[in-house]
Structure 1
């Protein structure tokens, strides 16, 4: 299948071809024809599946096909974070480079001046975060009565962040008649289903990405360490290849700042990105990271939404997430489009329970390896079941389950997600090599 078979306009196909995309991802192949036909759509799509193009391409085609005879916006895309709003806007501008679809972004953390000017000039498309959009609604600086298409991107994350009341207020300002609504979410919890029943008309459902699937090309590794030595171990790992782009996840905003300062003082260029940073600071840090000027970006979970980098080689969990599903979102930023990636977690004793939950969620074990010189003073107590097989230097014994059998290790499994927005690059690129594994002891699998 190719994009040509989906019914897209020549202008869109030309832009996609120039960017090296010729084959749609599964979510695009199923969602685009339904959206072009005018259906409301419930789409299950995680980060890395190409969901932005799945809703963006049919949206651009619709908006370019009919002139806007008013100054009112005709389409609204709601996103949970500023970074994702910027990322979606950039992607849609790339796809629509040969179309005339004036657009703007609306989000907090910056002044209203530029946003007001864009709205006064008139735009077809608004990409917005709920909070700042409500500010404009209250000021009567935006008129949503002409919205023909509404897209809720990462609806589950918006609900997690407490935006449900804001979303309902915004939806109440939109026309109900002749409006197409597309809702994209990694999961479909009850509040999302209720939202869909209330504001969508006979939505078609597309679910092509199994929940909590991770790429086969990601190598998962766990390094046990005493909590007080985590920073030293992180520095040791980063120093081994100081030029490699690495996204480091910390649990708190304050912790992100402290970690970035520590790395800078230790000679490694690093920047932090979190909700307390101004929009300008966040965008500069993200741009520097994408351009390779800063090889290490320290981020919190919320701030990392919208970070989209081809072939990011490594993600390090300095702190494990307390919610197992967030591990999937974190590591989904590496191993994309068939490229090789590493997901490394530094785990102290008080985080063992989080690692067990992640292993249960993924249904696969992980390689546990002591780093010479950083072995925890007291071996980590994994509880009733070890989360993976340890591969330790020097002949040390692996953690064992209570009944004495060695913990087994399985290779990661699941369908590898494609590029975050469109299909895979054209043929002719070098095929990435499979991750290299070290020698294994007690390698018997449990069936």
Structure 2
């Protein structure tokens, strides 16, 4: 891509360029530079793009342009012209926020719908004209069954994070939705990887699609410092609390394998004086929105999440990610740590690994084609574990009992005398007590940004 490329050269309408300019972005990311012209042409698109590459703006901007360019007089209540399907509530809210951000100087109307909240406000909203509908598959089918939404006018279909939708078992729902759409339409499919399953899905959705990929498959950013600490599962909660408190980290995303594990860890961190919250599928949408908003604006220092709940967490300058447990699918490790080291900023990704997880660690290192540094935490010994901690992890423990172990600290594994290397200041603020409008997305305090939209 020419380094001098700017948004104006992509042919976007003036109201959209004005909105982009107001966000502070100047140049498109590689996915945007490739996807926007293809979408503007009206053809189908199959795109491989990891979280954090700017893919959302890569399709929302040209969709807005196309809708502006065609007649809007024929639009009807509850009959969207564009349908964007996402796997999770958080991602749906984030995408619809992107639509509103870039479409704010236009008359285009958008609506987001997902489960976990009262359906009646969505039904009321569908009584008005809507141009762009962002939805999760299950709730969209609820509306279709109640005949509160009419999908016969959809001109553009987007499947966002299609790989995750397949992982979550949405394939039957997607096929039911496809049957409700007009045959003639533009189709855009975005996925983190081009797996065999994605190829198979694309055959039934796309027609003569252009294929683009912005990064080699399953690569990790060179800006992310990755390290592993070997420890027992029973020691992990005390160890992670010690690391965060001693490092003074103020914005940390922690991944757990289970919903129960996320709750238990967040409770432990709060008990130890940290502002922490957990998000997962069993939390109400209001609680999830509130926790994510608090994390984005700095009121929640530690956000503990399961893989699925973390979809939609999109923060430009997130400094620290910790894997409380390794994922059993190595590609998920790449997705997890891809949430740090963005927009030219350095990040750290620390994994706590017990002996039963070695097979997962080996699979990850094979995937990313490099070993991950083993390190130790200065000042930490297992004797610091609280007396009741050994049995409190019983429900989260992997099948085999692990023994503690640690290898020598590699050069550069610690910077500024802190584990993992963040120079952040000590201390964290109390969690937010306010609430946000459900489904509206959350806007945190924004650090200065350069370059391209990351939404």
Query: What's the offset of the Cα at 1:214?
Result: 1.5
Query: In 2, are the aligned partners of 1:317 and 1:345 still within 8 Å (CA)?
Result: yes
| 1:326 and 2:332 are equivalent in the alignment | yes
Q: After the TM superposition, which residues 25-424 of structure 1 pair with which residues of structure 2 at under 5 Å, given as runs? A: 25-65=29-69, 66-71=71-76, 72-177=79-184, 179-374=185-380, 380=405, 390-391=408-409
Query: What's the offset of the Cα at 1:425?
Result: 4.3
Describe the superposition over 1:191-243 as per-residue Cα deviations: whole angstroms up to 9, x where unpaired: 32222222222111111221112211110011111221111110111102445
Query: What's the offset of the Cα at 1:379?
Result: 5.9
Report the counterpart of residue 4 of structure 1 in structure 2. 8
Alpha-carbon distance between aligned partners in 2 of 1:243 and 1:379, rounded to the nearest angstrom: 25
Aligned to 1:49, the other structure's residue is in SS state coil
Query: What's the offset of the Cα at 1:190?
Result: 2.5
Aligned to 2:126, the other structure's residue is in SS state helix
Query: In 2, are the aligned partners of 1:154 and 1:184 still within 8 Å (CA)?
Result: yes
Unaligned runs of 5+ in 1: 382-388, 394-423, 428-447
Please point out which of 24, 28, 31 is paired with 1:20. Answer: 24
Describe the superposition over 1:394-430 as per-residue Cα deviations: whole angstroms up to 9, x where unpaired: xxxxxxxxxxxxxxxxxxxxxxxxxxxxxx9448xxx
Alpha-carbon distance between aligned partners in 2 of 1:227 and 1:375, rounded to the nearest angstrom: 14
Query: In 2, are the aligned partners of 1:242 and 1:268 still within 8 Å (CA)?
Result: no
Query: In 2, are the aligned partners of 1:225 and 1:374 still within 8 Å (CA)?
Result: no
Query: In 2, are the aligned partners of 1:359 and 1:365 still within 8 Å (CA)?
Result: yes
Alpha-carbon distance between aligned partners in 2 of 1:378 and 1:114, rounded to the nearest angstrom: 53
Query: What's the offset of the Cα at 1:296?
Result: 0.5
Query: In 1, are the aligned partners of 2:75 and 2:130 still within 8 Å (CA)?
Result: no
The alignment yields a C-alpha RMSD, in angstroms, of: 1.8
When normalised by structure 2's length, the TM-score is: 0.83
Size of the alignment, in residue pairs?
A: 389
Alpha-carbon distance between aligned partners in 2 of 1:378 and 1:199, rounded to the nearest angstrom: 49
Describe the superposition over 1:164-204 as per-residue Cα deviations: whole angstroms up to 9, x where unpaired: 00000000000012x00000011122232222222222111
Alpha-carbon distance between aligned partners in 2 of 1:154 and 1:215, rounded to the nearest angstrom: 20
When normalised by structure 1's length, the TM-score is: 0.84
Query: What's the offset of the Cα at 1:5?
Result: 0.9
Alpha-carbon distance between aligned partners in 2 of 1:267 and 1:109, rounded to the nearest angstrom: 31
Describe the superposition over 1:136-176 as per-residue Cα deviations: whole angstroms up to 9, x where unpaired: 01111100000000000000100010000000000000001
Report the counterpart of residue 437 of structure 1 in structure 2. none
Query: In 2, are the aligned partners of 1:367 and 1:390 still within 8 Å (CA)?
Result: no
Alpha-carbon distance between aligned partners in 2 of 1:175 and 1:323, rounded to the nearest angstrom: 36
Query: What's the offset of the Cα at 1:333?
Result: 0.7
Alpha-carbon distance between aligned partners in 2 of 1:64 and 1:242, rounded to the nearest angstrom: 48
Query: In 2, are the aligned partners of 1:15 and 1:97 still within 8 Å (CA)?
Result: yes
Alpha-carbon distance between aligned partners in 1 of 2:205 and 2:404, rounded to the nearest angstrom: 53
Which moves more between the two structures, 187-196 or 214-223? 187-196
Query: What's the offset of the Cα at 1:64?
Result: 2.1
User: CA 1:238/1:379 → structure 2, altered by over 3 Å: closer, same or farther?
Assistant: closer
Unaligned runs of 5+ in 2: 383-401, 412-447
Query: In 2, are the aligned partners of 1:242 and 1:295 still within 8 Å (CA)?
Result: no
Query: What's the offset of the Cα at 1:248?
Result: 0.6
Report the counterpart of residue 409 of structure 1 in structure 2. none
User: CA 1:203/1:360 → structure 2, altered by over 3 Å: closer, same or farther?
Assistant: same
Describe the superposition over 1:25-71 as per-residue Cα deviations: whole angstroms up to 9, x where unpaired: 11111111111010110111110111001111110111222314131
Alpha-carbon distance between aligned partners in 1 of 2:211 and 2:280, rounded to the nearest angstrom: 34
Query: What's the offset of the Cα at 1:392?
Result: 6.4
Which moves more between the two structures, 227-236 or 144-153? 227-236
Describe the superposition over 1:329-371 as per-residue Cα deviations: whole angstroms up to 9, x where unpaired: 1111111011010000111111111111111110111111122
Alpha-carbon distance between aligned partners in 1 of 2:29 and 2:89, rounded to the nearest angstrom: 25
Query: In 2, are the aligned partners of 1:80 and 1:129 still within 8 Å (CA)?
Result: yes
